[in-house]
Amino acid sequence: MFSNIIFDTMAYQSLNVLGEEFIRYFEKEETICSLAIERIKIDLEEFPSSRPEDKRLLQAWNYYKTADDVYMLALNNRGKSISIITEALVLWVYNKLWEGFELSSKGYRKEDMVIFGAKFEPPRPEVIPMIMNCIIEWLNNNSLDAISKSNCFHLLFEVLHPFEDGNGRVGRILLNAILIENGLVNVAFRNRDAYLDAIKKAEDGAIIVIDKLARGRKLTNDQITETLLTYGDLKSMNDLVKKELIHSLKVQSRINQVLLDISKASYLLGFKNKDYVRVLINRGKIKAIKIDNRWKVPLSEIIEFIEREKQALENIEEIVSKTIHIEEFK
Ligand SMILES: Nc1ncnc2c1ncn2[C@@H]1O[C@H](COP(=O)(O)OP(=O)(O)OP(=O)(O)O)[C@@H](O)[C@H]1O
């Protein structure tokens, strides 16, 4: 129940705190995690503050600067119906990620390739531009929620594997751009195995779509969506992104001392009755402060409560309503 509320775009916007400042702040953590997926280890202490010579640090610098440019575009695109993602943007992201590196191609790969450990082979190079345009067209013409949409695009992109190198990084920046332009924020995949496992569980629909497109089949946008949802098990990937969004929110709530009134706190927790929050405060389950005789709940408290009570989330309304009755009879 809670997850549906907290990832509701309106909930984020009503908080009105998850804008430029947070996205920028979080880009470093995201960069470190994204490079760690490729087994490139960078510590926060050594994170460059200007363009470094060292090639390992330059990969981090390039990711960081590219993500920042793309996310600011995405932020300005909130509320618009067409994504910032175009073929030109995808190619620009790729080239900027590899600035200062020798590449055999400035564009799409020219050779067949295999992904280590994957059960499919990405399509031959000649069909990449056509498929790229199909998946971007699909991105702009489906009615999935923000998380499913960004995950499905990520899967299609990774199965297409359009570049010789850096596909994971380009794909993760695009995934976050879609989250941001849909009112959410960037996530960091902090657990490499969980991320790769989730892709493997979810990718069957994307494999079928890319294979059909590569063989020249025409698919409508609805057929693409249906195939993605029917054959791929998106749940673990969606859950992973939700978990990482909670982490982003937690980091955000620490850097920004956001205080919520009772009605916003209730809204985020998915409670219909504001008294539930008051009861939790009275019972010491949520710490709150009184300002001008009104309760204010730090956003960080709400996030921590959610994390602590994860087991109880499904039944939380029932649990709290029982708690209210106990209170009444005391
Ligand atoms: N089974 C899989 N199905 C689909 N995509 C996968 C699979 N396994 C890995 N990937 C994606 O491919 C990326 C790695 O691709 P690859 O090993 O080819 O490295 P790359 O193209 O150099 O890109 P990067 O180094 O930035 O990840 C992963 O980060 C992930 O996004």
CATH code of the domain in which 267 resides: 1.10.10
- Whether the predicted pLDDT of 9 surpasses 70: no
- Whether the predicted pLDDT of 105 surpasses 90: no
Cα 213 to averaged position of ligand 1 atoms, centre (Å): 20
Residue 161 annotated to the active site: yes
Distance (Å, whole) CA 34 – CA 189: 7
- Whether the predicted pLDDT of 121 surpasses 60: yes
Is 209 within a domain? yes
4 pLDDT band, cuts 50/70/90, is low
Question: pLDDT, tens digit, for every residue of 161-204?
Answer: 999 999 999 999 999 999 999 888 899 999 999 999 999 999 99
Domain span at 310:
257-323
* Entry field: residues in the chain: 330
Say yes or no: 288 and 315 in one domain.
yes
pLDDT at 250: 79
Residue 272: Cβ within 10 Å count = 9
Q: At what angle do helices 146-160 and 192-202 cross, to 10 degrees?
A: 90
Non-local (6+) Cβ contacts of 172 within 8 A are: 34, 37, 154, 189
Assessment of whether the complete model's pTM goes beyond 0.90 = no
Cβ(199) – ligand 1 distance below 6 Å: yes
Three-state SS string over 131-161 comes to HHHHHHHHHCCCCCCHHHHHHHHHHHHHHHC
- Choose between 214 and 325: higher pLDDT: 214
Cβ(165) – ligand 1 distance below 6 Å: yes
Question: pLDDT, tens digit, for every residue of 223-279?
Answer: 999 999 999 999 999 989 988 887 887 787 777 777 888 988 887 787 888 888 999
Cα 160 to averaged position of ligand 1 atoms, centre (Å): 10
- Average pLDDT, whole number, for the chain? 87
Say yes or no: 216 and 78 in one domain.
yes
Token pair of 240 as six digits: 């992973």
Q: Which residues are part of a known binding site for ATP? A: 165-172
Residue from 208, 215, 211 nearest 229 by CA: 208
Question: pLDDT, tens digit, for every residue of 135-156?
Answer: 999 999 999 988 999 999 999 9
Ligand 1: which of 96, 158, 201 to mutate, judged by most atoms within 8 Å of the beta carbon?
A: 158
Cβ(57) – ligand 1 distance below 6 Å: no
What total number of domains does the chain contain?
Answer: 2
- Whether the predicted pLDDT of 91 surpasses 80: yes
The backbone torsions φ and ψ at residue 141, rounded to the nearest 5 degrees and listed phi first, read -135, 55
